[in-house]
Amino acid sequence: MLEIRALTSHYGRVQALHGVGLALQERETVALVGANGAGKTTLINAISGTHRASGGAVIFRGEDITTVPAHRRVRLGIAQVPEGRQVFTVLSVEDNLRLGAYTLSRAAAARGIERVYAMFPVLRERRDSPAGTLSGGQQQMLAIGRALMAEPRLLLLDEPSMGLAPVIAAEIFAAIAALRRDGTTILLVEQNAHAALAVADRGCVMETGRIVHDGPANALQYKDELRRAYLAA
């Protein structure tokens, strides 16, 4: 479904990605882990189009989308849940969801809202509340729900457990596991490496803008040298 070829990216003169190569198969969940500053968010933003690649290529379902703007990538089937949630705080929960469905018909949007409410019942209870009044965990549920409203073929999740209490983070990872079982293709960036690998098929480790390891998620957790170097174990 997705192929990254020799991708490079810069912030001014600082190079953040150094020839990254990565492939995702349809219905696969890949966890991207590594230290802060390794380039994980830059990579996910380059895939969604919210940060411009300097070189290389992003191929999505056989189409080179390297220079395609972000809003067109949504229509192609890529949706991103950004780091820090970034919900529209003054709008209601339901209006946030409707904004995620701007590519859909009214009927499809209504079906999408019901799907999100079934996944996160608390959002149904708070449907008329301003998003800014939700807890951090509820806002994360809303951010995921908003991305799902676009009916994505590829879901990009950037640090979904950031700042959440462990019990709430567990709910978020349970939702990710359910999406995986339903066949959604997912690229997951997450500091909680063990939790991310537990819901993934493959794990990729990034270091200083490069992918230094790519393998089965369950095996990655038990490689002693990788655990010590990258997984805080």
Q: What pLDDT shows up at residue 191?
A: 85
Q: Which run of H or E residues covers position 138? A: helix 136-148
Residues 131 and 92 sit within 8 Å (Cβ to Cβ): yes
Residues 92 and 127 sit within 8 Å (Cβ to Cβ): yes
- Residue 16's domain is classified under what CATH number? 3.40.50.300
The pTM assigned to this predicted structure is 0.92
> How many domains does the chain fold into?
1
State the residue range of the domain holding 73. Answer: 2-230
Q: What pLDDT shows up at residue 192?
A: 87
Residues 112 and 145 sit within 8 Å (Cβ to Cβ): no
Placement of tokens 């990034």 in the chain: 206
Strand, coil or helix: what is 137? helix
Tokens representing 203 are: 């794990």
Residues lower than pLDDT 50 in the chain:
233
Q: What pLDDT shows up at residue 224?
A: 61
Q: What pLDDT shows up at residue 12?
A: 93
167: number of Cβ within 10 Å: 8
Buried b (16+ CB within 10 A) or exposed e, 206-230: beebebebeeebeebbebeebeebb
